Amino acid sequence: MTPFVDVAFLILAFFIMATKFKPPEPVDIKTPKSVSTEQLPENDAMLVEMDKDGKVFFTMLADNKREQKRAIAENLNTTRNLGLTKAEIDNFVATGPIGVPFSGLKQLLATPVKEQGNLNQPGIPISDSLTNELYYWVRDAVSAFAGTRLNYLIKIDNGAKYPQFKRVLESFKRNEIFKFKLITSPTNAPIDSPLDRRRKTGGKVAE
């Protein structure tokens, strides 16, 4: 019995070490599948999420650059007259996904980070170019992180419609950003397709 228990605990140790807990997500997003094998960057990235109803969330993934992240909130506070207090701006640094219009940002940041999950966030408005607030988020984040090579991650639900996806892209394109990384779930290349043959023979992979 003892060797058996030893193995069991070995497995246990493996799972404890290998497990990485999912960070809490504001909405459930089922991403499409792709044959891409590239790993996601975890830092220095801007993440825009959209659920199937078109609710948009903005997250700045930059745990090691708190000052720059703080600068986003400070800048928005001045340009949009949000009337944020110093404590609220400090709270922004720890805040995860943001899915409120600018008018609701003060209320969101006045809530302690742990309780923000209970709030029902309506999403950042992007429906037309005049009220596209995602554009300002992207613009201020880019200027706050000037000098850093940022990745632009886009995570959208399967069920979202193409025009909604297009509007997200437009918010970036208006900021002169043209290279994106779409978050997908991995799948294998179909057998005997050109990509599959190339991967098996170890040929150069097309960009």
Partner 1 sequence: MTPMVDLGFLLITFFIFTATMSSPTAMKLNMPKDTDKPDEQNKAKESGALTILLGGNNQIFYYEGQLKEDGSNFTSTSYTQIREVIMNKKKAVSAIHQHDELCPELQQKYGPDGCLDRDMVVVIKPNEEASYQNVVNIVDEMTIAEARRFALIDITPQENELVLATQKAGGGNKITAPLWKSFS
Total number of residues that touch partner 1 (CB under 8 A): 65
Smallest distance, partner 1 to C-beta of residue 6, A: 10
Tokens of 19: 């497990």
Q: Rounded to the nearest whole angstrom, what is the least distance from the CB of residue 34 to partner 1 in the complex?
A: 4
CA-CA distance, 190 to 50, in Å (whole number)?
28
Enumerate the β-bridge partners of residue 57.
49
Stretch that binds partner 1, among 31-39, 72-80, 115-123, 133-141 (CB under 8 A): 31-39
Q: Determine, following the binding rule CB under 8 A, whether residue 41 of this chain makes contact with partner 1.
A: yes
Residues 117-176 that bind partner 1 (CB under 8 A): 151, 153-166, 169, 173, 176
**For partner 1, the closer CB: 5 or 87:** 5
- DSSP lists the bridge partners of residue 151 as 45
Backbone angles phi, psi at 90, to 5 degrees: -60, -35
What is the spatial distance between Cα 177 and Cα 169, in angstroms, rounded to a whole number?
9
How far apart (Å, rounded) are the C-alpha atoms in residues 205 and 38?
A: 12
- Only one residue has tokens 């000037």, namely 146
Q: Which stretch binds partner 1 (CB under 8 A): 92-100, 112-120, 125-133, 197-205?
A: 197-205
**Which letter does DSSP use for residue 119 in this model?**
S
20 binds partner 1 (CB under 8 A): yes
Q: Are 69 and 92 in contact (CB under 8 A)?
A: yes
Q: How far is the CB of 150 from partner 1 (least distance, A)?
A: 14
194 lines the binding site for partner 1 (CB under 8 A)? yes
**Contact (CB, 8 A) for 68 and 45:** no
CA distance 1 to 22: 35
Q: Does 46 bind partner 1 (CB under 8 A)?
A: no
Residue 53 touching partner 1 (CB under 8 A) = no
The binder of partner 1 chosen from 78, 85, 127, 185 (CB under 8 A): 185
* Interface contacts to partner 1, rule CB under 8 A: 1, 5, 8-9, 11-12, 15-16, 18-22, 31-41, 151, 153-166, 169, 173, 176, 178-191, 193-196, 198, 203-204, 206-207
